[in-house]
Homo-oligomer: A and B are copies of this chain.
């Protein structure tokens, strides 16, 4: 007696009957639409799984799979006992996607570094035209802290990340912040070793000088100069990461 019910329930449900794709995909679309329709913002709660499943007319496992897929793209976050919430995009998702590409041999670390180079060169140009007084003082204090931590290795690396993030914020485009974080994640995963070898005094001093040049240009409102300085900064990184550097890339973007 129960089997017949199952068959029926599996066939004529109140869902877009056409699409032909699986039910899970339909629920994914449904939830996306729901977020758009209700104008949900980060922190907002989704209906419970059971509510959604009865509402849409599918079983709870299907709803769970759909949610898990959306959690995979970083739209929502699932937690035990609590209802799923909308999460702001952070670098992790994009970082993971790029990691995937590296994992299956579709891209390598040099590709990623090139990408980051393009991005940050454009980013500082924007930062030079949009930086606020707050941004300027933040950059200055970071630079000062970095000078003090010149020979502190790990601490300098952490500050370096914050420096680039501060530039991204100064650029006034949230996507830059997200991508900087994503790249950091990829590099950490991809080259768990290396690093820390810029210990040489002259090298670290040069890096600091380049940081200062970037900052000065940004503060002075000089986009071209900022781009040039960032370009030099990446040339440094290239030299450091690959001894067999494939021809200084400095010649590329700044004439």
A residues lining the B interface (CB < 8 Å): 22, 24, 32, 35-36, 40-42, 61, 64-66, 68-75, 80, 86, 88-89, 93-94, 96-98, 100-101, 103-107, 111-112, 114-115, 117-119, 121-123, 125-126, 128-129, 173-176, 178-179, 223-224, 227, 247, 251-255
Contact = CB atoms under 8 A, between A and B. Distances in A.
17 contacts: A22-B80, A24-B68, A32-B103, A64-B65, A65-B65, A69-B72, A73-B73, A74-B100, A75-B100, A89-B101, A94-B97, A97-B97, A107-B174, A114-B126, A121-B121, A129-B252, A223-B252
| Secondary structure class of chain A's binding surface, majority of residues | helix
Contact of A175 (B42, B115, B128, B178): B115
A114 B174 CA distance: 11
Nearest to A28: B72
Copies of this chain per assembly: 2
Nearest to A88: B106
